[in-house]
């Protein structure tokens, strides 16, 4: 919302070394001249705050197992990251966006109705469960 920024030095050091989330203006600049059409942009304002809240709750439910697998220090850092990130998305200037690109301007329908139609048609398919195991 405020334009390009920097990644927190703490997050860059402990959570996502070398990571950077570009601003929408930076992504659009990179897309321009690519020969692709921007056919849709969806701004997910509070959605990611809810995602982070759910991750934090799931982490808390499995915290003891994670502490056994990794350590207490990791758990404290991960809890801080999840809580601080949720707050940034809920009360700060963070948001997530999705950009749909196409080679032709008429490659996708004019509205997003086709997405809901696909989801309804595939709602009864069983979702595979993946488990994470330590190496």
CA dist., res. 2 & res. 12, Å (int) = 20
Q: How far is CA 133 from the centre of its chain?
A: 23
CA dist., res. 49 & res. 66, Å (int) = 22
Q: Can you read off the two tokens belonging to residue 50?
A: 């809810």
The per-residue pLDDT for range 32-68, each reduced to its tens digit, is 999 999 999 999 989 999 999 999 999 999 999 999 9
Classified as helix, coil or strand, 41 is strand
Q: Phi and psi dihedrals of 122, rounded to 5?
A: -110, 10
Question: What is the domain partition of the chain in residue ranges?
Answer: 9-121
The per-residue pLDDT for range 64-109, each reduced to its tens digit, is 999 999 999 999 999 999 999 999 999 998 999 999 999 999 999 9
From 3.40.190.80, 3.10.20.30, 3.40.50.10420, 3.40.50.150, which CATH number describes the 9-121 domain? Answer: 3.40.50.150
The pTM of the full predicted model, rounded to 2 decimals, is 0.76
CA dist., res. 99 & res. 20, Å (int) = 17
């Amino acid at each position: 919302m405020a334009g390009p920024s920097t990644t927190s030095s703490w997050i860059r050091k402990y959570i996502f070394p070398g990571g950077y989330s570009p601003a929408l203006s930076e992504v659009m600049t990179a897309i321009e001249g690519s020969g692709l059409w921007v056919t849709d942009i969806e701004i997910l304002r509070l959605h990611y705050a809810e995602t982070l809240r759910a991750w934090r709750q799931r982490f808390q439910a499995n915290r003891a197992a994670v502490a056994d697998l990794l350590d207490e220090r990791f758990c404290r850092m991960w809890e801080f990251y999840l809580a601080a990130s949720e707050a940034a998305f809920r009360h700060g200037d963070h948001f997530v966006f999705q950009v749909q690109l196409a080679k032709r301007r008429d490659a996708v329908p004019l509205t997003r109705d086709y997405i809901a139609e696909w989801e309804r048609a595939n709602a009864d398919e069983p979702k595979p469960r993946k488990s994470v195991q330590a190496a």
